[in-house]
Every structure is written in structure tokens, then in C-alpha cells.
Amino acid sequence: MKLEGRLARLCGYGMTAAADAHLFQPTCEDDFRALLRLARLTSRKVLLRGAGRSYGDAAILPEAIAVGLERLNRVLSWDPTTGLLVAEAGVTIGDLWRYTLQDGWWPPVVSGTMFPTLGGAIAMNIHGKNAFRAGTIGEHLEWLDVMDSSGAVHRLTPDSAAFRAVVGGAGLTGIIVRAALRMKRVPSGDLRVYAQAVDSWDQQFEVFERFAGDADYLVSWVDCFARGKSAGRGLIHAAWYAEGSPATLRAEHQDLPDTILGLVPKSVVWRVLKLLNRRAAMRLLNATKYRLGTVIGNGKTEHQSLVAFSFLLDYVPNWRWAYLPGGFIQYQSFVPKETARWVFENQIALQQERRLESFLGVLKRHRPDPFLISHGVDGFSLALDFKVTPSNRERLWELAHEMNELVLEAGGRFYLAKDSTLRPEDLRRWLGPNLEEWRGWRRRFDPDGLLVSSLGLRTGLIEP
């Protein structure tokens, strides 16, 4: 098949960063080699792109040859006795669970949406709500195949030093072509989910630590408008794999319903959200959500399907359009447990002072991992969503830079998949000596610097 490209507008998921690039969608390994040659011939750079679910500018680059991986999407082998799955990089997380759940297996790590590709997930080394137990996706790979910019393919295993650079390498250390992933055995398609409202930061951390010992998943929502004694209030969900009938393993049991509350068609929900998507309404909505949480279901356990619990955001198609026209940025920082409270408390106080509160706050527990570009800490992360408008943009970036300072002071880390605001000086302080080591591997896999992304340039991952 002839490989044809077209000019396409590539957008970060938050819709704040976009660029036109020449998009090609290869279907086999040789296509990659042809595209690497084409890039050299036309003196263009190569951008790798999965499903475009990174929030910022990780998967965009103006005028590049953009290599979209979504059509390289075959499951190559699957062994339901061992749970080892080999797939091409463009297979999505949704494809993965659909393939294996009937046999009683679930992806070991999933993001809050099922659209990301395996390649994109490895390149960013994603984590899930089970990060404190299962770590990141890179820790569940048997091996991966990566193509360097000369076209040669290398099989890397976790014991090789290069593996530590390519996992989390943000598309700048070669093209991940395929990988072998160890799936997680599950007793059924359901989880037992326990909900508890917490009225302050103190309670947040206390309840988190209580469940971190034995829960399989743990996540909390934080009301970023609450202040004073209520600061840090929210709703914690802890979940355990549940025993259940084999029927729960079927896709029909898992699939998300077409209506919300059995009434409202999902497709219109973003329009309603858009109307509410302003500071005053969001303050009220957050407060209401908390109040409801203290009465409905508080302290109770219920069964939920794996899909419904894991991919809550996929319930509302195109929810991000509620942030149009300016889009939004997500800001997630990872802080050691000793200093997490201090950092998050101050981050939220800063937002309130600037009247730039995040409309959504999500708290998770993490553990360290062995990768060179890593967001893993023995501590917590707080993910925040900020609406961007022409009038707040500058102040918002300023706020982010101040929040960075808090994180760095506390020995914290960042996550490139969600980043839009990191500067080279922040990146250097975060990565320390790992940065040079990682750049060394980048030079090995891509000596002439063919692989580039806007994020790589902005953050200084790529040497200027």
C-alpha cells in the first residue's frame, strides 16, 4: 500500500496547544523506515503520536512528519494461561481489556480513559488508581521492541539500561513498535467500591493511609474551592477486586450506558457542562458534590464494573468541549508523603488567592519506579484542571510556575503527559543527573535528533 500523508491539525487533549503537521498512519514496520527516510529527504522532524490523549504538547510539532500509530493495532499473541499479551503499539487500552477480560484478565495499569495506545502509554509510562500497589505500566512489561532512527529494531528487557530510558522517553528515544505486557488476573469483572466523604486535608491523608495497605485501587476527589477548616475536603473511593459471576467478565456487562441516570443522552452532557463551566457555578457544584457525598453512599460499599470505575471520564463523550473555546490545562505534581500535605495545601491556597481555582482536584497515592524520566514518588499526586481563557492565560502560567517552585522545594516531580507549563529550569531540577543519562540514550537511539516534539523543545528535554 502506498503511504499517503495529509496535512492535519494536531491538538493536545486540553486544546491549548495545536500545530499543523503532515500526518501519516503507517500499518507496518517498513512504513516507519520509509517515513524516517522521507524526513531526512525533506529535512523535516518526526513526531510520534498515539491517540493524542496527552493533555499538553507532547504529541504535536509544527510542520513535522507526524507518525500516527493508531493503525498499527494488532494483538499479536495472547496466552490466557499466563496472561502474557503481545501487541503492536497502536492497540488501545480499550482494545486490551476487550481482548482479555472474558478470559479473566485486566490490564495491570490503566489511565482514566481507555483511548490511549499501548505505545503512548509506555512512552509516558502511565499510572492508574492502583499506582501505590502496581506502580507504572513500564513495570509490567516483559519486553518491548523499539526502532531507532536508522530503522534498526532493538528488543529491550527490564534488565537493560536502555529500557529505563525508553519507557517514559516521551517519544524521543525511538519508535516503540510492539511490547509484551503481563496482564492482571481478576476474579470477576466487578469491583467492590467503598466511598467515604472526608472533611479536611487531615482526614484525606489519614483515610488514604488507612486503605493504602490493602485496597486495590484508591483515589480521591478534592474540592479546590473549600478553604479554612474545610480545605482539602473531598470524597475517597477505595476499591477491591470482587468475587462475582463469570457473566461480569463479558463486554456487555462492562459497556458504558448511553444515557446518564437512565435519562439524559450522554452526547448532550458536555453542552450542559459548558454552561456551568465558570468559577461561580463550579464553586457551587463542588460544594454540592461534597454535600451529596456526605449523605448519599457515604461509608457504604457497592459493586461497580471495572470499566465504570476505571474510565469514569469516558462516560461523557467530548467532555473537554465544555472548556471551549480556550481549552484547559491539567497540572499534576507528585510529592513525597512527608511534604505532600504542605505542598498541596499551599498550591490550593495560592489558587484561591489568585481566584484561579482548579475546577477539579484528584488525589492519588504512588510509589517510586526505576525509570529515568519518572513521576513516581513514595507519596501523593494532585491533578488539577484549569480552564484557560485569553485573559487568564498569563496569570495561569505564572501560578503554575509558582506551584512548581513548591513542588521542587519539597523534592517532588512532574508528569510530562499532563504538562503544559514546565520550563527547562524546572525540568533540570526535577530530573537532576537523570537528564544527562537520558540524553545519552537519546543520542544512541536518535543520533541526528530526528524525533522531536513541541514538549521536548519547550521543556528542554531536547538540548537546544
Ligand X SMILES: Cc1cc2nc3c(=O)[nH]c(=O)nc-3n(C[C@H](O)[C@H](O)[C@H](O)COP(=O)(O)OP(=O)(O)OC[C@H]3O[C@@H](n4cnc5c(N)ncnc54)[C@H](O)[C@@H]3O)c2cc1C
What does the binding site for ligand X look like in residue numbers (CB under 6 A)? 13, 48-54, 58-59, 69, 89, 111-113, 116-117, 119-121, 123-124, 126-128, 170-171, 175-176, 313, 417, 453
Decide: is 397 part of the binding site for another protein (CB under 8 A): no
CB of 296 or CB of 324, closer to ligand X: 324
The residue among 121 and 249 lying less far from ligand X, judged by its C-beta, is 121
Nearer to another protein, 17 or 126 (CB): 17
Of these, 15, 19, 36, 461, which contacts another protein (CB under 8 A)? 19
218 binds, among ligand X, another protein, none (CB under 5 to 8 A by kind): none
Give the helix/strand (H/E) hosting 354.
helix 337-354
Among the listed residues 29, 31, 63, 103, the single contact to another protein using CB under 8 A: 63
Q: Which does 113 bind (CB under 5 to 8 A by kind): ligand X, another protein, none?
A: ligand X
Alpha-carbon distances of 185 from 97, 133, 167, 354, rounded to whole Å: 12, 15, 23, 47
Q: Is the dihedral of CA 222, 131, 332, 92 positive or negative?
A: negative
Burial class (CB in 10 A: 0-12, 13-18, 19+), 208: buried
Q: Please calculate the CA angle 74-108-431 and round it to the nearest 5 degrees.
A: 100
Query: What does 8 interact with, of another protein, ligand X, none (CB < 5 to 8 A by kind)?
Result: another protein
| Identity of the residue, 55 or 201, whose beta carbon is nearer to ligand X in the bound complex | 55
Q: Whose Cβ is closer to ligand X: residue 219's or residue 231's?
A: 219
Kindly tell me which residue out of 12, 25, 39, 44 binds another protein, with binding defined by CB under 8 A: 44
Considering CB distances under 5 to 8 angstroms, the limit depending on partner class, which of ligand X, another protein, none binds residue 49? Answer: ligand X
Please answer whether residues 219 and 196 qualify as being in contact, where contact means their C-beta atoms are separated by less than 8 angstroms: no
Q: How far apart are CA 102 and CA 106, in angstroms?
A: 9
Residue range at the interface with another protein (CB under 8 A); choices 7-15, 46-54, 341-349, 439-447: 7-15
**Which of ligand X, another protein, none does 313 bind, CB closer than 5 to 8 A by kind?**
ligand X
Q: Which helix (H) or strand (E) holds 301?
A: strand 301-305
Nearer to another protein, 44 or 375 (CB): 44
Site for another protein, residues 277 to 296, rule: CB under 8 A: none
- For another protein, the closer of residues 411 and 460 by Cβ is 460
Q: From the list another protein, ligand X, none, which binds 48 (C-beta under 5 to 8 Å, kind-based)?
A: ligand X
Q: Output 19 or 399, the one with its CB closest to another protein.
A: 19
CB of 18 to another protein, least distance (A): 9
**Does residue 62 belong to the site contacting another protein (CB under 8 A)?**
yes
Buried b (16+ CB within 10 A) or exposed e, 133-167: bbbbbbbbbeebbbbbbeeeebebeeeeebbbbbb
Question: How far are the Cα atoms of 69, 266, 320 from residue 26, in angstroms, in the given order?
Answer: 7, 33, 28
Q: What are phi and psi of 335, to 5 degrees?
A: -130, 140
Q: Does 257 bind another protein (CB under 8 A)?
A: no
Q: Which is nearer to ligand X, 111 or 286 (CB)?
A: 111
Nearer to another protein, 14 or 189 (CB): 14
For another protein (CB under 8 A), the number of binding residues is 9
- Residue 180's nearest CA partner among 155, 159, 161 is 155
**Pair 198, 235: CB distance under 8 Å:** yes
Residue 183: all three cell numbers together: 496482564
9 sits near another protein (criterion: CB under 8 A): yes
CA separation for the pair 115, 118 (Å, rounded): 10
State how far the alpha carbon of 413 is from the alpha carbons of 24, 36, 135, 319, 379, in Å.
34, 33, 15, 28, 10
CA gap 173, 153 in Å, rounded: 12
28 binds another protein (CB under 8 A): no
List the single partner that 87 binds among another protein, ligand X, none, CB under 5 to 8 Å by kind.
none
Residue 40 binds another protein (CB under 8 A): no
SS (H, E, C) 102-140: HHCEECCCCCCCCCCEHHHHHHHCCECCCHHHHCEHHHH
Phi-psi region of 381 (alpha: psi -120 to 50; beta: other; left: phi over 0): beta
Q: Are 93 and 112 in contact (CB under 8 A)?
A: no
Strand order in the sheet with 141-147: 75-79, 84-88, 175-182, 141-147, 153-156
Q: Does 6 participate in binding another protein (rule CB under 8 A)?
A: yes
Q: Give the pairing of strands 328-336 and 175-182.
A: unpaired
Shortest Cβ 183–ligand X spacing (Å): 18
Q: Does 20 bind another protein (CB under 8 A)?
A: yes
Q: Is 395 in the site for another protein (CB under 8 A)?
A: no
Residue ranges that bind another protein, judged by CB under 8 A: 6-9, 19-20, 44, 62-63
